[in-house]
């Protein structure tokens, strides 16, 4: 059997797949029905699925206190393996170590897996927020997520029994790491750049993608199909937009699309690192990091997510950053450009961002043709046109969306 030429999974020689199937799954599911139940948030459910499919290799379950503290403070677990954001499960009551529990989706009420509790502990939530998000501001959506966690964290190895609705609802997009790796092998790709998306692709995303294709064997457009904050564009609409763009504006054998089941944490630099960790597990050698990657509001400098990669110890992460400068449409250049390539002033530039696009569309404003491809805008206008007034969320602009934020 030929040895794989793909990048190895993070911290392991092979994917750590915790998802059961066949009779083993049936037996565990039957056993789970009689176990004490712990209900999970959508964030925890997405994390469990990623544990199941090997996306969070080499993790074997939810983190204990030593791992939690090490990840918060030093971005490494107790065993020394690099990991940038805690993967934890919270519960409102103490559970004795040694107890087997069933893990239930709070969204669908489905039994998602089982866990043997090895530890039950309390954490300083503000401590976690200040390290992971660099802020404890309750308006930050990631901080809000952590502060709303229950009183105790439960740790232990898991057995995963379901991928929820993701394989059916996002058929053709949702992928497991073993599937993306197999496809990359079949295509003969060795260098693969990942493009993280939580918004429909506008021209800036398209420009980043095509730069990456020029220097890689292939591009993996990997979009989040889990939970987002209010006002973000739903995953099914975004998938339709991206598929249309790829179909009409990309060379077919150089691009592959996929979806993964996590909720956004909006952790900026730390989340950029997490994105690189699990993209390595999916088989990618490079992670595109552009302006304000995984950021929200003005909590992070526009290039903090690039800077943090330079601070990593040698060998901590094999998936490398592909940094790309601030990009925009320049009317004098008559095309897409970046701060490195365009000599003109701000008055000649149209800054492109998902925030600006959502704001214009949600308020019924004009969107310049240079902002996004006409096929994509048609899909988005149809979506926003169908929203009732009570479904619309005010979209607040910030410096990173207008070009006013300063590069740090």
Q: Report domain extents, the chain.
A: 22-164, 167-260+266-408
The b-or-e profile of 86-111 (16+ CB within 10 A means b, else e) is: bbbbbbeeebeeebebbbbbeeeeeb
Chain center to CA of 167? 17
What are the residue ranges in the chain where pLDDT is below 50? Answer: 1, 391-393, 395, 397, 400-402, 406-408
Element (H, E) at 357: helix 354-362
Q: Which of 43, 176, 181, 199 is catalytic?
A: 199
Q: What angle separates helix 125-132 from helix 65-74, to the nearest 10 degrees?
A: 40
For 308, the token pair is 């943090």
First to last CA, the chain: 49
The b-or-e profile of 227-266 (16+ CB within 10 A means b, else e) is: bbeeebbebeebbbbbebbbeebbeeebbbbbbbbbbbbb
pLDDT for the residue numbered 408: 43
Give φ, ψ of 281 to 5 degrees. Answer: -65, -30
The CATH classification number of 22-164 equals: 3.10.400.10
- Cβ count near 276 (within 10 Å): 26
Give φ, ψ of 118 to 5 degrees. Answer: -105, -15
- Eight-state DSSP code of residue 155: E
Q: Which of 176, 198, 270, 279 is catalytic?
A: 198
CA 121 – CA 62 distance, rounded (Å): 12
Q: Do the Cβ atoms of 195 and 220 come closer than 8 Å?
A: yes
The question of whether 254 is a catalytic residue gets the answer no
Q: Could you tell me whether strands 192-197 and 286-289 are parallel, antiparallel, or unpaired per DSSP bridges?
A: parallel
Is it true that the peptide bond before 273 is cis, omega within 30 degrees of 0? no
For 405, the token pair is 């934020």
CATH class, range 167-260+266-408: alpha beta
Residue that is written with structure tokens 């944490």 in the block: 265
Whether 22-164 shares its CATH topology with 167-260+266-408 is answered no
pLDDT for the residue numbered 198: 81
Rounded-to-10 torsion of CA 222, 195, 372, 225: 30
CA 226 – CA 388 distance, rounded (Å): 23
- Please tell me the number of Cα atoms within 13 Å of 125 on its side-chain side: 16
pTM for this model (two decimals): 0.92
Give φ, ψ of 362 to 5 degrees. Answer: -70, -25
Residues 6+ apart with CB under 8 A from 309: 272, 273, 276, 289, 317, 321, 323
Q: Report the SS3 class of residue 287.
A: strand
């Amino acid at each position: 059997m030929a040895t794989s030429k793909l990048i190895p999974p993070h911290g392991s020689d092979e994917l750590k797949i915790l998802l059961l199937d066949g009779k083993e799954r049936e037996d565990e599911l039957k056993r789970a029905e009689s176990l004490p139940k712990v209900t999970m948030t959508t964030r925890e459910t997405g994390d469990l699925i990623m544990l199941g499919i090997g996306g969070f290799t080499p993790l074997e379950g939810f983190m204990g206190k030593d791992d939690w503290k090490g990840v918060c403070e030093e971005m490494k677990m107790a065993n020394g393996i690099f990991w940038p954001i805690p993967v934890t499960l919270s519960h409102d009551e103490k559970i004795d170590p040694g107890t087997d529990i069933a893990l239930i989706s709070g969204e669908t009420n489905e039994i998602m897996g089982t866990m043997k509790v090895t530890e039950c502990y309390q954490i300083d939530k503000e401590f976690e927020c200040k390290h992971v998000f660099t802020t404890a501001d309750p308006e930050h959506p990631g901080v809000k997520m952590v502060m709303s966690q229950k009183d105790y964290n439960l740790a232990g190895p898991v057995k995963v029994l379901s991928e929820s609705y993701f394989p059916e609802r996002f058929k053709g997009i949702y992928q497991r790491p073993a599937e993306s790796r197999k496809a990359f092998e079949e295509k003969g790709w060795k260098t693969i750049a990942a493009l993280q998306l939580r918004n429909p692709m506008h021209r800036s995303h398209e420009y980043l993608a095509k730069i990456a294709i020029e220097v890689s064997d292939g591009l993996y457009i990997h979009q989040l199909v889990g939970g987002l904050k209010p006002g973000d564009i739903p995953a099914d609409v975004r998938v339709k937009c991206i598929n249309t763009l790829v179909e009409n504006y990309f060379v077919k054998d150089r691009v592959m699309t996929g979806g993964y089941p996590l909720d956004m944490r909006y952790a900026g630099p730390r989340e950029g690192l997490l994105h690189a960790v699990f993209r390595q597990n999916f088989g990618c050698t490079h992670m595109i990091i552009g302006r304000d990657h995984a950021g929200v509001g003005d909590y992070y400098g526009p290039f903090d997510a690039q800077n943090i990669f330079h601070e990593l110890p040698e060998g901590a992460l094999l998936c490398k950053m592909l940094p790309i400068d601030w990009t925009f449409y320049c009317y004098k250049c008559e095309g897409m450009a970046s701060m490195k390539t365009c000599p003109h002033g701000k008055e000649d530039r149209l800054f492109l961002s998902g925030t600006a696009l959502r704001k214009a569309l949600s308020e019924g404003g004009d969107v310049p043709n240079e902002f996004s491809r006409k096929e994509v805008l048609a899909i988005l206008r149809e979506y926003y046109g169908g929203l009732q007034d009570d479904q619309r969320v005010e979209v607040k602009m910030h410096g990173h969306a207008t070009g006013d934020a300063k590069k740090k």
